[in-house]
Amino acid sequence: MNREATLSNITEKLAMISTLSRGDLVASWEAAHRRPPPKGISRRLLEYSAAYQLQGKALGELTPTTRRKLQRKALPSISAAVEANITSKPTRLSTGTRLVREWHGDTYTVEVVEDGFQYDGNTYRSLSKVAHSITGARWSGPRFFGL
């Protein structure tokens, strides 16, 4: 069979995947992975898996070396993206928000105002100053209040 006929055949089979029943897709998953699919997996992911397996059989799968290279390339960028996402999202507090913290058996309430934070009748420019006023120690204000 020539390459064009093979590609045409694959295209037809790929188009038919969307018409398969969920049971057929699960059976395809089990044949490919030798275990049942994860609980609650979406139909879309079952279809993607069936399509990947079909193409791998017809056109050849990735070699183990290529798989390792892709994993090495993907993992650092994934962890960097997750880290960037975590560190680049400062918590934005709206005016009127109240922060409550229990410290050594006492409850402290701080209200967010336009020009800072109000605590015990005083207005502070930062949460760290409030935390220092409460504890007497140099704390990160957001960390002290669990933000």
The pLDDT tens digits along the chain (147 residues) read 566 667 778 888 888 999 999 999 999 999 988 999 999 899 999 999 999 888 888 888 888 888 888 888 877 666 566 556 555 555 678 888 888 888 888 888 899 998 889 998 889 988 899 888 888 888 888 888 887
Q: Is 18 contained in some domain?
A: yes
Last residue of a domain, one of 64, 85, 109: 64
Answer yes or no: do 106 and 53 share one domain. no
**pLDDT for residue 145:** 82
Beta bridge partners of 138: none
Please indicate, yes or no, if residue 75 is contained in any of the structural domains: no
Q: Number of structural domains, the chain?
A: 2
User: Does residue 132 fall inside a structural domain?
Assistant: yes
Bridge partners, 1 (sequence order): none
Does the residue 85 lie in any domain? Answer: no
Domain assignment of residue 56, given as a range: 3-64
- Contact in structure between 46 and 26 (CB atoms under 8 Å): yes
Same domain, yes or no: 8 and 60: yes
List 84's β-bridge partners, or say none: none
Q: Is 79 domain-assigned? A: no
Euclidean distance between CA atoms 14 and 28, whole angstroms: 13
Cα separation, 16 vs 47, whole angstroms = 10
Answer yes or no: do 7 and 60 share one domain: yes
Q: Within 10 A of 1 (CB to CB), how many other CB atoms are there? A: 7
Of 16, 43, 64, the last residue of a domain is: 64
Could you give the CA distance from residue 36 to residue 32 in angstroms, rounded to a whole number? 10
In a domain, 109, yes or no: yes
Instruction: Extract the tokens encoding 129.
Output: 């100053």
Q: Is residue 90 part of a domain?
A: no
Rounded Cα gap, residues 120 and 132, in angstroms? 13
Q: Which of 22, 43, 64 is the last residue of a domain?
A: 64
